[in-house]
Amino acid sequence: MAVEAKRPEDNVIYIGKKPSMAYVLAVITQFSDNKKEVTIKARGRAISRAVDVAEIVRRRFLNDITIKNIEIGTEERELEDKTKVNVSTISITLSK
């Protein structure tokens, strides 16, 4: 019996170092594919970009989108030299 690999969720956008408009386009694409919800996730320095993406989508492009949920948290990460650091995280769920 083959074990099916777990696919990442289609409606989750992970924010990184690309320009904000690249992620805005990704969110708009998800909603145009008839997704009811899209989650924007980021950690560390990308958190401010995630907030920007959510606000650009809501205010400029899709006025019927609302913020359903915002979750914040902290992840403990281990660096190469075995020291541990705390990294802030955010998850913003947008819905139609």
Q: What is the mean pLDDT of each run of 10 residues along the chain (96 residues)?
A: 54 94 95 93 96 96 94 93 94 96
Q: 7 lies in a domain?
A: no
Q: 63 lies in a domain?
A: yes
Q: What domain range includes position 37?
A: 12-95
Write the CATH number for 35: 3.30.110.20
- Per-residue model confidence (pLDDT) at position 10: 74
Is 48 in a helix, a strand, or coil?
helix
Q: 4 lies in a domain?
A: no
Q: 5 lies in a domain?
A: no
Q: 33 lies in a domain?
A: yes
Q: 31 lies in a domain?
A: yes
Phi, psi dihedral angles at 34 (to 5 degrees): 65, 30
- Per-residue model confidence (pLDDT) at position 91: 97
C-alpha distances (whole Å) from 13 to each of 1, 10, 40, 93 are: 32, 8, 5, 10
Q: How many structural domains is the chain composed of? A: 1
What is the strand order of the sheet 84-95 is part of?
Answer: 12-14, 37-43, 84-95, 66-78
Do residues 88 and 45 touch, judged by C-beta distance below 8 A?
no
